[in-house]
Structure 1
Amino acid sequence: MTLYIGREASKLWKRICAETTTEINLLLENWKYLLAGLIFQYIHGLAARGVHYIHRPGPTLQDLGFILLPELGQDKAYISETVFTFVFVSFFLWTFHPFIFKSKKIYTVLVWCRVLAFLVASQFLRIITFYSTQLPGPNYHCREGSKLARLPKPDSVLEVLLINFPRGVIYGCGDLIFSSHMIFTLVFVLTYQKYGTRRCIKQFAWLVAVIQSLLIIASRKHYTVDVVVAWYTVNLVVFFIDKKLPELPDRTSGNSPLLLPVSTKDKDGRTKEENHKLLNGNTVDPADWRPRTQVNGKIVDDATNGMHADNAMNGA
């Protein structure tokens, strides 16, 4: 029993080391994209902080969701934040699962490059939207009479740049259309929908996204329009940007070496070069191809089934 545990621990450690080496190489190639995405997260927070200075509290607007969904109240407002934290943490841990599990389908660095690209595009549209029109915030701390509903004029530029983190992010007002929580939730769910392997988890993730939407409205953190706009905007952003980004290499085999996606131009050039060599009687790199023979409608490798292939071609 002790020998088995030691052997498995050794395999796990080797897997972690190999995966770490691969991800570091990818990080060195893509660190600029990751850094740009992280910097924009700060810019987005800065923009949300800035709109709070020009927010003017007023009567809560008429909203269909407020009429249909019962109000949770201030004492239960933590429920929606708890659900969002669960979504964020679970997705973050899932992106690092190749370090532990044998069934690998993604590279962590490449997945986060895509996720940050989706987030940046969605947040850019969000900044334009909530600066275009400032609505009176429906949240409790944004209503008339609350000291947090209006921010006093800043004493210095540094006060604005520090955005009073994390209190300034949690108790923001004015950044309504569209919901930032739904941006993160939908980007995470859509990413797992494409690269995840468990169908039941995918269905559960969409259910959680719907529940999260209802909880945001019931907590009076956003109007219904903020959630509705987030649903179709984020889905469209992910749909169009995903087509522009290079596809992730497939890692279904698990222990395959790092194979980064090759551009279509490179593939076409390589195919033409190989065809030119074959037409001139030259051979190509044996590592790039394996002779295959078709027997009884099936394609088999000559290297492993040479005897059956020869018999079939000789009529035996």
Structure 2
Amino acid sequence: MASYLPFSQSKVFRTKRKMSGPAMSLGATLDEKTPISWPDVNGNLAMGGGGRSPRHWCDSVDYREVLGFLLFAVFMVVDVGLGVMVWVTFFKFIVAPEEDRSRATWGGMWVAFAATFFYVRRLVRSRADVSLRSMADHAEIFVGMSLVMVFSVNIAFYLHVPTTTPLKDLGFMLIPEQAIDSKWRPVSDLLTAGVPVIFMLQTLFMTRANRCRIISSFFRLATVCYFLRMLTVSVTSLPGPAPHCRAGSPDYYPPTTWIDIVTRVGPIYGNYNSCGDLIFSGHMAYTNSAVLLYLRTLDRNFPGRTASKIRWACGMSYLVVLSVLCIAGRKHYTVDVVLGLMIATLVFFHFEHSWTPLCFQVPNGLLPLADLQRLNAPQWQKRFSMDVTDEAVDELDDAEGNGEEARRLLKANALGLNQVQLIC
């Protein structure tokens, strides 16, 4: 059956069962203390009635595999960085110069550089497994969308009109402004990168498939958030509340040509002091996506009501502190921060598992519980499940290429459990 996760592949090995019909009925044999297999939305087995061991992340960890993954991660960072450089150098050294001789000289060098880049990229990716290629695909899509979002930021900066005072804001009235030379000013940027970095390091103790899946999910969530931010920042440029965005500031350097708009790419080239790109906050959207994914992953691997409450309280406190620092530094208006939190949360619950929004996967919003388990369980679970007869498995084999038909057959053989609303 087709998977909801992009770029996924699976191999199915089926063994004929001798038992026909369910081996037992679901009744009094299931109680709170009996461990049961429970496939979660990602297709991983979770244990109900006790949960997983805290050593789960350390199971089957091969340090040579981790070293290989780190080498590929370094390649991936260099790959996307050089990809951005190919874009920037094309406009800076080929399009922008007016002399034909300069264009010809730099053009030859650029063609050789770009050809070498794409050849090495293709060679390395051809030797990587499916999980690594999927993660690299998500990373490249994220960086590509980041470029488009930066272009929108530069358009907003180009349209920006500096003022001496920012707009009226309740958050500004309640939270004092940080001084320009305050030591707390860069803390918000450090907190924005803190959770993703810590999360990525902890995934090294997972299996490669889970690690790549989680990192890909983060890139997917950030990509969708940046796409939505790209739509909003370029259409309306508000007066920037930051000190460098006010009239008379010596650090105010807006783009003046279209070459500047397409080549100012932040950490790769240019500067960070943009103005007018306010609605909504990229700090909050980026960090909130990482925090939600981090907390949900911890809940799935380390269950426990008390521990979960403590983790979520810490995560929400982290976001509150970041919000206060963004407002105190006058990097965003309060409405930018609130919208960043709201939009990132909605994006998370719709795009955590797939590029297809959840509302399109399940249009009616309801699925039988047994059907939901089988739709997201690994193929071997679907085939060896004691709730599906041999005849149904034979029909499932015939309908393997038709996702809708397979879902219909699975639903027809479900035990008729109560329906649950699919909200996340």
Under a length normalisation based on structure 2, what TM-score does the superposition of the two structures give?
Answer: 0.51
Letter paired with 2:280? F
Report the AA paired with residue 264 of structure 2.
I
Match of 1:72 in 2: 178
CA shift for structure 1 position 40: 1.4
Among 133, 158, 162, the residue aligned to 2:263: 162
Specify whether residues 15 and 203 from structure 1 end up closer, same or farther in structure 2 by C-alpha distance, changes over 3 A only: farther
Is 227-236 or 123-132 further displaced after alignment?
Answer: 123-132
Local SS of the residue matching 2:288: helix
Tell me, in whole angstroms, the C-alpha distance in 1 between the residues paired with 2:202 and 2:273.
34
Which residue of 141, 165, 171 maps to 1:36? Answer: 141
Question: Is the Cα contact below 8 Å between 1:45 and 1:169 reproduced in 2?
Answer: no
Q: Distance in 2 between matches of 1:15 and 1:177?
A: 44
1:184 deviates by: 1.3
The residue identity in structure 2 corresponding to 1:74 is I
- Compare CA radii of gyration and give the structure with the larger one: 1
User: Which residue number corresponds to residue 292 of structure 2?
Assistant: 190
Compute the displacement of 1:44 (Å).
1.6
Cα RMSD, aligned residues only: 3.7
Change (3 A) 1:81 1:188: farther
1:228 aligns with 2:334: no
The alpha-carbon deviation at position 171 of structure 1 amounts to 0.3
1:132 is paired with a residue whose SS is coil
Match of 2:275 in 1: 173
The answer to whether the Cα contact below 8 Å between 2:239 and 2:276 also exists between their aligned partners in 1 is: yes
Counterpart-to-counterpart distance in 2, 1:210 and 1:40: 27
- What is the alpha-carbon distance in structure 2 between the residues aligned to residue 93 and residue 14 of structure 1? 18
Q: CA deviation at 1:29?
A: 4.0
Choose 205-214 or 51-60, whichever is displaced more: 51-60
What aligned pairs does 1:268-307 form with structure 2 within 5 A after superposition?
Answer: 270=383, 275-276=390-391
Flag structure 2 segments of 5+ consecutive residues without an equivalent: 1-57, 73-127, 357-372, 395-424
Q: Residue 189 and residue 206 in structure 1: after superposition, are their counterparts in 2 closer, same or farther (change >3 A)? A: same
* CA displacement at 1:84 relative to structure 2: 3.5
- The answer to whether residue 56 in structure 2 is matched with residue 56 in structure 1 is no
CA distance in 2, matches of 1:264, 1:223: 41
Q: In structure 2, what residue type is equivalent to 1:190? A: L
Counterpart residue number, 2:218: 115
Tell me whether 1:138 sits opposite 2:138 in the alignment: no
CA contact (8 A) 2:157 2:237 kept: no
Deviations 1:88-133 (A, max 9, x none): 244323323243x4x7698222112111111111112112112222
Query: AA paired with 1:217?
Result: I
Higher helix share: 1
Distance 1:60 1:235 in 2: 28
Relative to structure 1, the CA distance from residue 105 to residue 35 in structure 2 (aligned partners, 3 Å threshold; closer, same or farther) is closer
Task: For residue 49 of structure 1, report the CA deviation from its aligned partner.
Answer: 2.0
> C-alpha separation between the residues in 1 aligned to 2:375 and 2:254?
51
**TM-score, structure 1 normalization:** 0.67
Structure-1 separation of matches of 2:392 and 2:226: 50
User: Residue deviations 1:139-188, cap 9 Å, x none?
Assistant: 0010111244452522x62x433306338452000100011111111011
Instruction: Return the alpha-carbon distance in structure 2 between the equivalents of residues 117 and 164 of structure 1.
Output: 20
What is the percentage of aligned positions where both structures have the same residue?
25
5+ unaligned residues in a row in structure 1: which ranges?
1-10, 247-260, 280-316
SS in 1 for 2:247: coil
Q: Give the C-alpha shift of residue 137 in structure 1.
A: 0.4
Alpha-carbon distance in structure 2 between the residues aligned to 1:72 and 1:230? 21
User: In 2, are the aligned partners of 1:80 and 1:212 still within 8 Å (CA)?
Assistant: no
The answer (yes or no) to whether the contact 1:139–1:221 under 8 Å persists in 2 is: yes
CA contact (8 A) 1:41 1:120 kept: yes
Please say if residues 146 and 223 of structure 2, whose CA atoms lie closer than 8 Å, have aligned partners that are also in contact.
yes
Q: State the aligned residue count.
A: 250
Cα distance in 1 for residues equivalent to 2:198 and 2:388: 44
User: 2:264 aligns to what SS in structure 1?
Assistant: coil
Secondary structure in 2 matching 1:177: coil
Amino acid at match of 1:108: R
